[in-house]
Structure 1
Amino acid sequence: MSDPFRDQVVALIPPLRGYAITLTRSSTDADDLVQDALVRAWQFRAGFRAGTNLKAWLYKILRNTFYTQSEKRRKTVEDVDGRLAAQLVCNPDQEWRLVYEELLVALGRLSQDTRDALLLVVAAGLTYEAAADVAGCAVGTMKSRVNRARERLAQLMDFDLAAAPRDAHSQPAPRTLDHAAFV
């Protein structure tokens, strides 16, 4: 059984290929372009209205396909030998994410007072005096809460608190999230 749409499209392949060669300046790229355009035409054949100009419709699909692919190619850098890719360095962040998730869980297990104290002093960088003002407690109480929070957090995260520096304010800011940044 003959399909008139298919027969007309097949008859237009040679002129479509000629037009594609003028656009791409490569017979191989032209063949790929025509194939992509024909696939799209077949996918959207229900959108073609019988009695209208099939040739113009196919040329428009081919042209739009070419410009879409050209835009994608313009944004893509060809790196056949991998030289450019070798220059890209991205440290893996999986370990950081795991530690971060572990930290969030451990923080959630602290009491509200000790968590607030730790976050005010360590994360927000407030002095004990300023944190005590915010929390409405004595400075000694704030120091005690921060100390208990550090010890409990270290315990929950299985971290050796004795090996970590005690004064977080005197240490340079860590480049990555590690246990020492929170104790």
Structure 2
Amino acid sequence: MTDRLRVSPAEAAFRAELLGVLPHLRAFARGLSGRPDFADDLVQEALIKAWTARERYTPGTNMRAWTFAILRNHYLSELRKSRRQTDLDEGTAERLLVMEADQESPLHLGDMETALQKLAPERREAVLLVGASGFSYEEAAEIAGCPIGTMKSRVARARGDLARLLDGDPEQAGTKTRRPG
């Protein structure tokens, strides 16, 4: 085996730790984007960026928080890029893609996913980081680059919005059209 193909013990440890956060990255990406295909692309790109920047990672620190920040930043870059490239009106697209809800059916995971996608992006991100991914408010605030009080507020508002949306009261929920908090 040539020296180019050998992996150092530090790289092997980094790889193992990176692979350990993969399921969490996938869940976070799917929650952020609402599209499994786009989420897979986000995760793949985040893994590539993490591997490329592995020298900047400090072993023993929080790999999940570090990779979530990479994924989040890439997601935001992709959103900015897609907004510049699209001529499609968001309202029109939403009307084309939304199905009428069956009020008689029980709550399913799909209902939660749909409700999550109706939240303002900052609130959705906050509730995914704290509620679904298990980060502390401090860790989530660091990942999102905001004060801890802002993170707590976003999570509280997102939880309230989700409760209203799942109860069938979208008018009272702070959805994408309202100013995020």
Task: Pick the TM interval, shorter chain.
Answer: 0.3 to 0.5
Give the structure with higher Rg (CA). Answer: 1
Alignment TM-score, normalising by the size of structure 1: 0.41
Higher relative contact order (CA 8 A, sep 6+): 2
Alignment TM-score, normalising by the size of structure 2: 0.42
